[in-house]
Every structure is written in structure tokens, then in C-alpha cells.
A and B are shown apart, each in its own frame.
Chain A
Amino acid sequence: MHQSILSYRGSRYLWWSLLLCLIAIVAYIVDEPNMPPNGGTVLGYILGTLSALLIVWLMWFGIRKRCYKSKMGTVVGWLSAHVFLGLALVILATLHTGFQFGMNVHTLAYVLMIIVVVSGIYGVFCYLHYPRLMTDNRGEVSPDSLMRQIQEIDRQALVIASEISDETHERVLNSIRRSRVGGGVLKIIFGRHKKANLEGLVQKAKVQQKIMKAKNVDSTMAFMASRITHGREDTSELLRQLTDLLIGQKEKLLAQLRRDLQYKAYMDLWLYIHVPFSFALLAALIVHIFSVFFYW
């Protein structure tokens, strides 16, 4: 019942696009202009006009997407058409060039268009690929409640740390301040997140456990003994709890949360190429048309 952009209404726009491409290709083969095929032939003008209109229409999608009261079709329908007709544009525009490329504003427009299209193809891949991964990663918890669970762990960790020593408290506090989630899109995707800097703690916990094992004393005895020797509570159990909280539970949650943000970022990031380049394309297109008519 749910239809993706590719399968929307039996992929009707795919068939439209194929038909459009077919007509263009046949016309290109059949056409015998009195100059080498390029934008200046009659067919070239037709293909050029068509491509330019298509580009304007493709960009109009950004507006339609935000006209929530519009009665003109649905946004899925528009996007489905956007994708397939956008792909058809490659054929139309290429035929329009007559395969004449050079170092000029015309080819610049063409290259920009290719960048937009390639980013679009990648976008479609992202849209179809990441949503499922996101659901799988998230399970039943929302990012909001992940965040709150993490805060709660931090709170508990601080309480335990303060029972161990001031130094430990300080250290845990620092590590909490450092472990940030989010930031810009780029940071989310590329940023390497430092593990909480708690190596010292882990070492300490391990050493204490070893000592206990080596001594092979039963834990109450150890507890009593350490009280006597240090005059305060034994910290190894607390340290174990602390490392379990911060390294076991928290890191797991953080990883889950980061992955969630990462997937979302993957679905957003490509638009940062697609949209600016489509504006650049529009600009280049205007220059292209302008220069053709005034300087050719």
C-alpha cells in the first residue's frame, strides 16, 4: 500500500521519461541539420528549450514542497516525477550539446547539471537505504529518551565518583563535559568521537580487582581490611560500578544516539550539494542563454 518514489503509481513517470528520451534520441538520429549537431540547430533549440524548462520545473519542486495547501498532486508524485524527469534531463541536455564541450560557460552549466543529477541519484539511494537502518538501530526508544538516559547515567556516575574521591569526581565531571553529541552535520558524520577519557580509572579498577583476586580473600574480609588499612571505605566496588556505568552503559547509548544522528545526517547532507548546485546551475543557465543570444 505504501509506494516509494520509484514505484509511485506503477512508476508512471519512469515510462513518461523513457518515452521522452526515446523520442529525443530518435529525433537526434533522424535529424540531418546542415551544420554539425549542436544547440544551434532547430532540434537543438527544441531540446535546449525543453531542458531549460525542465530545469526550472525541477527547481519549482522546492517551492511546491512548501505549499502545503496546494491542490496540485501530492509531494510524492512530484518527487517521483522530479527524479525520473531529472534523469531524462541528462539525455535531453546531452543531445542538446551535440557532444560539443569546451572550457566555457556552456559546459560549466552542463557540468553543474551533472553534479546536481549525480547528487540527486545519491540522494535517492540515501532515501531508500537509511530509513530502515535507522529503525533497526533505534529499537523502541526515541532520541529524546536516549538523551535523558545518558543524563541520568551521568548523574549517577557523579554521585558514585564523589563517594570515591574528589579527584575521581573531577575527572568524571571533565569526561562528561567532553562527551558531546551532535554539532554540525559534518561533525556528526566525520567527527571521531573520543572515548571518555577514563583510562586511569579503568586501570585502577582492574588493578584493584587483581589484587583482590591474588589475595583470594572473600569480599567482606577485603572490605573490612581495607577499612582498617585506609581508614575509609573500599573503593573497588564503587570503581567497578563507575566504569560499568560510564564505559559499559553510557558508551553503548552514546554510540546508538550518534548512529541515529549519523543516519539522519546522511539523509540531509546530500541536499547541501544538490540545492546550492541547482541554484548555481540556474545562474549558469541564465548566463548560457543570455550569451547565446547576444554574442553568438
Chain B
Amino acid sequence: MASPIYRIAIIGSGPGGLSAASRAAEKGVSHVLLEAEKHISNTIYRYQKGKHVMNEPRVLPLRSPILFDAGKREDVLSIWQQGLDQHKVNIQHGAEVVAIEGSIGAFEIKLSNDEIVRAETVILGIGVQGNPRMLGVPGEKGTEDKASIVQYTLDDPEEYEDEHIIVIGGGDAGIENALALCGHNTVYMVNRGMEFERAKEANNSAMLAKIKKGEIVCFYGANSVQIDALNDMDEQKAILVLETPDGEARVPCDRIIARLGAIPPRPFIESCGIVFPSKDREAIPELSDKYETNVPGIYIIGALGGYPLIKQCMNQGYEVVEYIDGVDLKPADEPLLQAKFDKIKNKPSVSQALKAIKKQVPLLSGLTTLQLREMMLDSEVCVPNEGEYIFRKNDYTDTFFCIISGKVNIEIDDDDPDKVIPLSQGQFFGEMSLLSGRRRSASIRAASGCILIETPRRLMNKLIGSVDSVKRTIDEAFIVRTLQTRFAPTTPVDDLTKVAKAAKMLAFKAGEELFHEGDTAKSFHVIRKGSVTISRQIGEHEVVMSYLPAGNYVGEMGIMGQSRRTATVKAATATETIELSADAFNYLIEQDAELKKKIEAEYKQRVSKNLNIQQEGGRGIISFLVSQGVGEATDVLLIDESLCVRCDNCEKACAETHDGTSRLDREAGPTYASIHVPTSCRHCEHPHCMKDCPPDAIKRAPDGEVFVGDNCIGCGNCQRNCPYGVIQMAVKPPKKPGLISWLLFGFGPGPGRASQISKAHDPDAIKKAVKCDMCKDLAGGAACVRACPTGAALRIKPDQLPGYAGK
């Protein structure tokens, strides 16, 4: 059967795909929109019921035949459906694409039902969510008269009561579902492994606690075999048959929730011949400025192309159809970019400016125009006055700067601001804090005629992840500058570059050893990201002696005299180090007579601190605190339970000063030797919560506070990504009457009480992520600590950790 050849096949009816298809329909271009599901826009369809969809970035104009405004999920979807109907878009549901073959002008798109669709060009708008992995056992699909009892999502755990529910999958999603369901249901967990090794620590321990207490029955090492339906007479609906190490198990149940993860779209995309620039998880296929991939005729738009917001996706859908149709039009974000470049005196046009940047900044010359545009959209052009500070030493900012023209000066001596190292046009700075997550290591001042691009951390990380040349250049500069500032300030940069070339970048997972006590010492490490613990075998126990954060070095004593390692060094969190050989080290020492003494002095100081810890019996504390993420924290709340009178004044204070929702949960969290780590933000050096935030709403303030900005779209990614479970999705409650009217007249809820309006159950309420902001907007500082009447609560920074343990 000869099927028609469409001009454009659009795969995926997300906001990008729909917009493209309706533009094609509007223009009368022959097209087909292929959607795997029975409904449109699966990602948005799967949002929580009633979720408020936001239209960030608000300044960006919408360019699409389909309407989009902020509103309820249901309304947004129905408006889109109407738009599709109105434009008579040729949409095919249930059309899951499994392969794309052929080349431009004659693509053959294979569907999972073996049907083939032909098209001249293909637009991929399949997003990044992937498709849920299916259980794949007999009985899964149900029968004609009996609906399937298997589901792959859980919208509202409160919906089910007194059911027997089996959750399959021991990852975070499965555990969170099981935890949310237990208490009002009988819950079973089926885990393929023998432990929950893929889960976050908080989920893992919560799960183990439930299992220990018998509140959840867990089958370890179990595989599902089949589902047998039961009769209507029976108490439960079906039996899940499992294969376990102890033989077959038959579990009666009403519902099975399978959380087996998603099949990421990347393998499928690669199978179409599209190349990703690196193995990095954040890598994005390289696209031309017309959204075309390396395979001519295949275009990528939307989240898959690195633009995660709905409005951007829709604009790209429109634009890509215009490009395919041969229309040259400026992207919708052109005016936004122009406004940025208008700060420069001669007001260059966008294309002039982009060209100039590529030419003048070698670091960025490897970027495609599309990547550079994306970078510039979120970056700022700064034109500082001569002498103005761009940032100061010990600021906690983490943006990255490129010098488009002019010069800046790095102050290298705290006491003498005139001692500077100049950086000039084409160079960059700020990579130290970007990579280590620590404070700025030097102050930087603008010299004359200086024009800079300031890029936020997340975007820079994305570039480092997807453009190899950017990663290499920054890594090298990082090593040279580390050597320069830490060891050899007077050695010429060229000599250091040689040393740097011989250095190795190593990455360690949490718990992995850098080296072991007793090993022969051949090299030493500068910790560039993460942190390590130093431990020694004492009797039968491995005792943690100390903790070192990024910016320090370890292993130097081994190569300076003793030839064996005197301690074991382990990564406390995901850690990256620069490994330097003994030769390189000796070379550095030859350059500077004072250096050896300095290193020895630092070593002595560390040893005496260690002795302190050992004598004071604080050893267990360090390993406990490190296991609780204090190692990657910049500021953490600790409660001394021998002083805490459980008055919850800390929580009340937090709620009172933060829109009625306490950002800390005093009771939750583990305790060791009366030190309790409540569930509260650690203000991580490399905040996991920032990773997948579509509008990049989570920021770090100059003093280190990690906070959620107003442009949060409430997607909940940060909540899932935080390994310590400290982010909540909450509604802003109505205003409460003041303290005095409560005291005198009893108006409204008292201090620390929730507002009376029930928050969770107003379906129209806009939920956003809330977390501890370290009270950055309160003049007095952390309200929780200041409100504790007994001195039990305090906040510490990791460099105070050895002192804390040795108290």
C-alpha cells in the first residue's frame, strides 16, 4: 500500500510538536503529527491534577498559532486540543515511533505497530521524559471484562484506602510511592536487588525503617512472573506471582504500581544517526541555528534540544516549520538578546555581537550559534566602571565571566590591593567557584574599557557537559590557576602549563578510596570538587580522623619524606581531584624555597587537630555527620538533643518568618550521640536541587544561601533531586493577624500555627517549591537558631566540623 509522503513528520505532540504541526497546518504544508499516547502532550498530561502551569519567561513573546497562557493543567490542555482541532492538524495517536531510516526527502518512520510513515523532513519533539518501562508479564494488560490493575504513575496517594498494593521497583519513585501509601493501605515492595542501592539515602533509610517495623513487606531479589486475576468473590482482585530466592511467592493484591524508571530517549535518537557531543548526562545533540541535527532533514526542538520551558518549545515549533519552508526569520528571542547588547556603547546588532564574541573569546569559538544564543539569553552583558569590583574574595557567587574586551585585575595579596595579575580580552574567570562550589578565592576588579559576559552556573555546567573544547580549556585553566595560587605564585604561567598538562583529573564516587593506608606514595591530590575523609585503622576499627573540603590537598607528606601512606583517604561525596606526580611536586618545590616549609607547617597543624579529635572522643561524630551530607554542605542545622526540650519553637519561628510553612522538620532525621540532624537544607556546595530546574529558579546568594526564586514553576524536580528530602511543595497561605491582636483578642491562629485555610486541598492554589533560605532576608539571621530557648539548635559550616567534633 503506497502511503503518502508528507513534507514534514512531527514526532511528539508536546508544546513544541503541537506548535510546529499547527503552524504547518496553518500554512497548508502537508504534515503528520505522530503521538505515542492516546492524548496530547504526555509530559503535561502527567502533571499533577490541577497543577498551575506557568508561562515563564514572562518577557518572552509567544509565537505560535496555538494559544498558551498560565493556568490550570486541564485548561491548558483543552485549549491546545481546541487549537489542534481548529487548525485541522493531521494527528495520529498511538503512533509510537521506534526507528527513523532513510535520508532527507525520503525518511521512513517506523511505528511500534510496524506501520511505516514516509516524510521528507522530520521534526523530533519527544521531550526528555522518556517512556515508562513496562512490566512485561502475562496478565499485565488485563482482559476485556477486567481492567488492568497495573499502573505506572501515582497521582494522589490519598486516593486509595485499605487496599493491598504492590509497588514494584526499589528506586526513589517506587520507595516514595510505597511510603506515601503505607499507613492507610497494606503495602508490599518488590525489589529486584538485595538492597535499595539506587535510592537516595533519606529514602533508603526511611524504607528500611518501615520494613524493619513490618509496615511494609519487602521481597528482595524478586522478579515478577505473571498476574493471575481472581474472582469477584475474592477479597483481592488478583495475585502477583513472584520468583524469589526462597522460591515462588503469590501475593494477593488490588493494585500494582510499577516504577521501573523511564527508557531515556537518547538511545533512540542515536539510532537515528544523531550524534551527541559527549557521554555526559547533560549533553544535548549539536544543532545548527535552524535546529537541524547532523543528519540533514532531521530537526530537534523543545526540551530535547535543551530548551525546557513550554513557551520556548512552542516558539521553536513555529520557527522550525518556517525554516523548513525556506522562510528566514529571526528567532522570537531576538529582541531580548538585542536589549542585552544595547548596553555596549556602539550597540552592535545581535549577529554582529555573536560573531564578535566567537572571534574574541577562544573558549566560546567552538559553540554553535544556537548554543551561543542560548548561553546569551540567560547571561548578562556587564560594562563595569574602571576600578569597580566584579566580585570579592569569599563571596559565594558562582557565575562565570568571559572578557569580551578590556581587562580585569585579580588581587593576589589581601593586604596590598595593588598587587594584581591582569587578565585580558578573550580570557575568562570565575571557574574556581563554578567547579568547586566554594567561595570566591580572590577579588576581581575591572580595569578600563571592560566588557564582560556573566553566565549563570547551570548554563555553564550544561556547556561544559556538551561541548568538549569548553571542558578541556576550563579544566586546564583550573589546574594552572590552582598551582599558581596554592603553590607557585611566581613561576611563569608557561612552565605551570607544562606541569598542568601532566596532571590527571580523577573522579571518585562517594565512599571510593583515593589511596589506602600503607600504600606506597607516588602522587598527591588537590581536591577540586567534593570533600574527603582521612581515616586510620585503629585496632579493628577504621577511625575517621579528619575531613577536608575542596581546595585542600592530600597525600603531600607521602611524597615529601615518608614513602608510605599513613592514612586512608576516601571521597565523602562525589569528588574530583587533580593528581600530580612526585616529579611535578618536586619541580614545584624547587621553584620556591618557602613552599616546603609552608606545606610542612600546614601538615603539622592538621595533625594536631586530628589528635584533638581523637582525644576528645569525637571520632564517630565526624563519620556520622559526613554520612548525613555535612561533607557537601556549606551550612547545616544541628540540634543537641540533650538540650532540646522539643518545644518546636525552631519550627514555629521558621514558619512565622516564611509564609507559614516551616522549612525544617525537627523531629525527622537521624541522631548520633545526642547530635540530631533535622530534615533541613544543607546548602550543598553543588546543590542537587538545581540540576533539573527548568526556569533555573534555584540560586545561590553571595553569602552561600541556596534559595528558590519567584520564577519557580512548581514542577517538583528539585524536590525529587534533593537527596535529603528538604524541599516541599507548598501554597502561600493568607495573611495572619499580628501578634498583639492574637495575644489580646485571640484573633486567628497563634504564632507558629498554620493558617486556618486548609492549604493542601484548594485545587486552584499555586504550589511552588519552598525550602530553607537561611533567612537571608532577615536582618538577624537564621530564625530557627535564634528562637531556640535552650541553645540546642545551631548552624555550622563544614570547616568548623573538626572543631565541632573535638569540642
Contacts and interface: CB of A to CB of B under 8 A. Distances in A.
A132 B783 contact: no
A74 B215 CA distance: 42
A205 B788 CA distance: 52
B792 interface: yes
Given A135-B674, A148-B215, A76 B642 contact: no
Given A2-B640, A68-B653, A74-B786, A131 B791 contact: no
A102 B646 CA distance: 42
Helix, strand, loop or mixed for chain B's interface?
loop
A76 B780 contact: no
A67 B739 contact: yes
Nearest to B654: A68
A152 B214 contact: yes
Contacts of B652: 68
Interface string A71-89: 1001110110000000000
Contact of B778 (A65, A69, A74, A144): A69
Interface string A115-145: 0000000000011101110110000111011
Interface stretch (B27-35, B373-381, B665-673): B665-673
A79 B669 CA distance: 27
Contacts of B743: 63
A68 B790 contact: no
Contact of B789 (A3, A67, A79, A145): A79
A8 interface: yes
A65 B642 contact: no
A8 B790 CA distance: 9
A29 interface: no
Nearest to A126: B645
B155 to A, nearest CB: 24
Contacts of B668: 142
B751 A2 contact: no
A149 interface: yes
Contacts of A4: 643, 790-791
A142 B667 contact: yes
Given A1-B807, A127-B645, A142-B667, A76 B739 contact: no
Given A68-B783, A130-B645, A132-B641, A75 B789 contact: yes
Contacts of B215: 145, 148-149, 152
Given A68-B652, A68-B657, A132-B674, A76 B645 contact: no
Contacts of A5: 789-791
B804 interface: yes
Contacts of A74: 785-788
B209 interface: yes
Contacts, number: 106
Nearest to B807: A1
A104 interface: no
A267 B645 CA distance: 7
Contacts of A2: 638, 640, 643, 791-792, 794
Nearest to A74: B786
A230 interface: no
B295 to A, nearest CB: 55
Given A69-B780, A70-B780, A149-B213, A76 B789 contact: yes
A128 B641 CA distance: 11
Contacts of B790: 4-5, 76, 79, 127, 131
A3 B643 CA distance: 9
Nearest to B640: A2
A145 B206 CA distance: 11
Of the candidates A79, A131, A134, the one having the most CB atoms from chain B within 10 angstroms of its own CB is A131
B602 to A, nearest CB: 24
A289 B653 CA distance: 36
A131 B183 CA distance: 29
Nearest to A144: B667
Given A135-B674, A148-B183, A152-B215, A69 B791 contact: no
Nearest to B796: A1
Nearest to A266: B645
B211 to A, nearest CB: 12
A71 B642 CA distance: 27
Contacts of B640: 2
A66 interface: yes
Contacts of B647: 267
Contact of B788 (A76, A132, A135, A152): A76
B498 to A, nearest CB: 46
A3 B645 contact: no
A114 B34 CA distance: 83
A149 B182 CA distance: 12
B533 interface: no
B692 interface: no
A74 B656 CA distance: 16
A1 B645 contact: no
Given A5-B790, A68-B787, A131 B209 contact: no
Q: How many of chain B's residues touch chain A, expressed as a range? A: 35 or more
B644 interface: yes
A264 interface: yes
Contacts of A1: 794, 796, 800, 803-804, 807
Contacts of A140: 209, 670-671
A65 B789 contact: yes
B779 interface: yes
A185 B637 CA distance: 30
Nearest to B675: A2
Interface string B151-191: 00000000000000000000000000000000100000000
A63 B751 CA distance: 11
A70 B778 CA distance: 9
A154 B514 CA distance: 52
B649 interface: yes
Nearest to B674: A135
B671 A131 contact: no
Nearest to A65: B789
A135 B667 CA distance: 11
B780 A66 contact: no
Contact of A75 (B214, B657, B788): B788
A141 B208 CA distance: 12
Interface string B750-789: 0100000000000000000000000000111001011111
Given A4-B643, A8-B791, A267-B645, A71 B780 contact: yes
Of the candidates A63, A76, A126, A149, the one having the most CB atoms from chain B within 10 angstroms of its own CB is A76
Given A132-B674, A135-B671, A145-B213, A66 B739 contact: yes
Nearest to B210: A145
Given A1-B807, A152-B214, A131 B644 contact: yes
Nearest to A134: B646
Contacts of B804: 1
Nearest to B673: A135
Contact of B645 (A131, A142, A152): A131
A141 B210 CA distance: 10
A75 B787 contact: yes
Contacts of A8: 791
Contacts of B183: 148
Contacts of A149: 213-215
Interface in B628-687: 638, 640-647, 649, 652-653, 656-657, 667-668, 670-671, 674
A4 B642 CA distance: 10
Interface of A: 1-5, 8, 63, 65-71, 74-76, 78-79, 126-128, 130-132, 134-135, 140-142, 144-145, 148-149, 152, 264, 267
21 contacts: A4-B643, A4-B790, A5-B789, A68-B783, A68-B787, A69-B780, A71-B779, A74-B785, A74-B787, A75-B789, A76-B789, A127-B790, A128-B643, A131-B644, A131-B790, A131-B792, A132-B674, A135-B671, A135-B674, A140-B670, A267-B645
Given A71-B779, A74-B786, 7 more contacts: A67-B739, A74-B788, A75-B786, A76-B791, A131-B643, A132-B641, A142-B667
Ordered nearest first, which 9 A-B pairs have the shortest CB separation? Answer: A2-B640, A68-B653, A76-B791, A71-B780, A68-B656, A135-B641, A132-B642, A74-B786, A66-B751
